[in-house]
Amino acid sequence: MANLNQLTVAEAAEKLAKRACSSEDIVRAVLSSIEKTDKQVGAYLTVDAESALAQARAADTARTKGENKPLLGVPIGMKDLLNVKRQPCTCASKILNGYVAPYDATVVAKLRAAGAVLLGRLNMDEFAMGGSTENSAYQPTRNPWDLSRVPGGSSGGSAAAVAADEALATLGSDTGGSIRQPAGFCGCVGLKPTYGRVSRYGLTAFASSLDQIGPLTKTVRDSALLLGAISGRDEMDSTSLDVPVPDYVAQLGGDLKGLRLGLPREYFIEGLDAEVEQSVRVAVAKCRELGAEIVEISLPHSKYAVAVYYIIATAEASANLARFDGVRYGLRVDGEDPLDQYGKTRAAGFGQEVKRRIILGTYVLSSGYHDAYYLRAQKVRTLIRRDFEAAFKQCDAILTPVAPTAAYKFGEKLADPLKMYLGDIFTIPVNLAGICGVSVPCGFTSEKLPVGLQVIGPALGENVILKIGHAYEQATPWHKEKPEISG
């Protein structure tokens, strides 16, 4: 059947429930799309077609026996830092080349329990460090809307696969905007849940106090579906929250009457691309038209967010990445003694950006600098969180751009890391505060590049931001647009 790869998760689940098609039909359509377009896009590092088809057939058999799980037979792709048993998990790094995961991450186990078909491994910036997917050790991923431009990062493969209809949905991770920014660049929906809403067990850690797993999808409804499937307390992750998981899908629908939406003056600043600002302001006007009250708010400590993030995140990365030593798994470069082996393995295995961040993180944690940098950054992080707490006393959610620009050309920011880091200025504060945010398509630039609207909510406020995103999405045409991928 044609175009089954273009279905949303909700549409596929409905068709499968009605027996209008089989899971094998959908998976074959997705595999065909990957074969046809991924040579240009480069979203996948590996695809296990044989396993995906076997899972699809098993799902079809289960349905004939009366099983009716929410995602039964729906194909979903995985960012290459989520462990899936018997699949590679390289984190797009040479240091983990050849490593095969011996277990399932909790989110993977939850998707399996919901009946999902796991497709393959999606490209990313190495160890999730980057905003363009140019830092992958294996290949670049290209933006389906313009193959000369980046898809964003670090979940660039996850976003590009959804935009190119090479998966019905994917999972990514978001440490400073790594789900929302590529979703904005690629014209899909990207949800960063509240810290602790989703278990991180089986996620290869970058910065443990900031990382969060979330879905990238074609619609807000699909994000609500996936969030419901992967959320909940997990004994394997002490930071996961022991709170009920609401029915996010049931709370979608209706207009925005009675909701107060904040517009932070610090987010509409010099350096914000004029076309991006115009699209976001038109989206804000549409939310007002849908019944929301728009109020101006202030998040005064936002200007420190990038500096704070690149101290805390790099410090945690230097500790987390110390485990990659060439002794137990992955790349090993022999040396004269264990210390020499350790140094040579890491020199050969890590890319330039990962090395840069390990060095930064080790420096800010070192004797004599810990209090001046790391401790002070943690104090300012608290001020940023308090800004949001004060703001949410004035409004139910906050509307901002996702990124200062639309997708940029390959190589444009590689020579200037600071310029690259500043691209996360609107997404980083959400991670520092541990709250939730979603990117929803809100228009295009004159060059037909997608623009994203970010809806930020308080801790465990996913139902509110999904309701707002869904109402806006249903009142606008942007989510229905498809890229034309040429060779």
Q: Retrieve residue 49's tokens.
A: 């077609």
Length of the chain: 487
Q: Is 136 a catalytic residue?
A: no
Mean pLDDT for the stretch of residues 227-252: 98
Q: Is 69 a catalytic residue?
A: no
- pLDDT of 16 strictly over 90: yes
Tell me which of 79, 218, 413, 467 is the catalytic residue.
79
Q: Tens digits of per-residue pLDDT, 99-132?
A: 999 999 999 999 999 999 999 999 999 999 999 9
Q: Is the pTM of this model over 0.95?
A: yes
Round to whole Å and give the CA distance between 344 and 339.
9
Q: Tens digits of per-residue pLDDT, 296-351?
A: 999 999 999 999 999 999 999 999 999 999 898 899 999 999 999 999 999 999 99
Cα distances (angstroms) measured from residue 107 to each of 30, 212, 374 = 22, 11, 31
Could you state, in order of their start, the residue ranges of all structural domains in the chain? 4-260, 303-380
Q: 401 forms bridges with which residues in the sheet? A: 453
Q: Tokens 């290209």 map to which residue?
A: 142
- pLDDT of 1 strictly over 80: no
Q: Specify burial of residue 365 (Cβ count, 10 A radius: 0-12, 13-18, 19+).
A: middle
Fold of 4-260: Amidase signature (AS) enzymes (3.90.1300)
* Residue 349 DSSP SS3: helix
Give yes or no for a contact between 75 and 116, defined as CB atoms under 8 angstroms apart: yes
Give yes or no for a contact between 223 and 256, defined as CB atoms under 8 angstroms apart: no
Torsion angle (degrees, nearest 10) of CA 290, 296, 300, 306: 30
- pLDDT of 439 strictly over 70: yes
> What is the structure's pLDDT at 487?
55
Where residue 2 falls among pLDDT bands split at 50, 70, 90? low
Tell me which of 23, 93, 136, 154 is the catalytic residue.
154
Residue type, 310: Y
Where residue 245 falls among pLDDT bands split at 50, 70, 90? very high
Mean pLDDT of the chain: 96
- Beta strands of 343-460 (E only): which ranges? 397-401, 436-444, 450-457
Round to whole Å and give the CA distance between 249 and 264.
28
Tell me which of 132, 173, 178, 318 is the catalytic residue.
178
Mean pLDDT for the stretch of residues 64-68: 94
Examine residue 154 and say whether the peptide bond preceding it is cis (omega within 30 degrees of 0): yes
Where residue 420 falls among pLDDT bands split at 50, 70, 90? confident
Q: Is 209 a catalytic residue?
A: no
Round to whole Å and give the CA distance between 265 and 299.
8
Across the beta sheet with 450-457, the strand order is 44-47, 117-122, 75-79, 169-174, 212-217, 189-192, 436-444, 450-457, 397-401, 260-264, 293-297
Pairing of strands 117-122, 44-47: antiparallel
